[in-house]
Amino acid sequence: MKKKVLDTSAILRSNLDFSDGCYVITDNVIHEIKDEIIKSVINSGIRNGRIEIKTPDDDFLKRVKEEAEKTGDLNRLSDTDIELIAIALENDYTIVTDDYSIQNMCKCLKMDYEKNIHDGIKRKLKWGMICEGCGREYDYKTNISECEICGSYLRKRAEFIE
């Protein structure tokens, strides 16, 4: 059975019993969990060998960050998210997540993912900015909040890339 990388939301919103022993997380996932009961279940799974803790290779972290930069997801992903994607990419694992930015990265990197309780994304996305007034488009990395042409506010906009 293919191993599954769990993001924090997949753990918090699931009834996973970890009995088949094919789950992977990072140390950062454990740190994100505040509920002591859930943390206890996770630690028990680690002790029993049902949950493995991994650290991604730097080359895979770099690759994920480069792809996230291209799609505009970099500022939407936490360090933990990037680690999880890198581990899944490096080892050909499946990610279990309801996070749309993680799902988008999986689609862009041609990786497997499973949604947990929410509908998943349908197509790949690239993020940008658009003026609410005149419709001028800006790169998502822009450091301005108002349009240079008309002075209206800029808002985030998703563009489908497939």
Smallest CA-to-CA distance from 99 within 114, 83, 86, 79 is with 114
41, pLDDT greater than 60? yes
| CA atoms lying within 13 Å on the CB side of residue 99 | 23
Q: For each of the domains in the chain, give its residue range(s) and CATH number, in order of start.
A: 4-114 (3.40.50.1010), 125-160 (2.20.28)
Distances from the Cα of 153 to the Cα of 131, 138, 143, 146, angstroms: 6, 12, 12, 4
What is the per-residue pLDDT across 86-145, written as a single tens digit (0 to 9) for each? 999 999 999 998 888 898 899 889 999 888 655 555 666 677 788 888 888 887 777 788
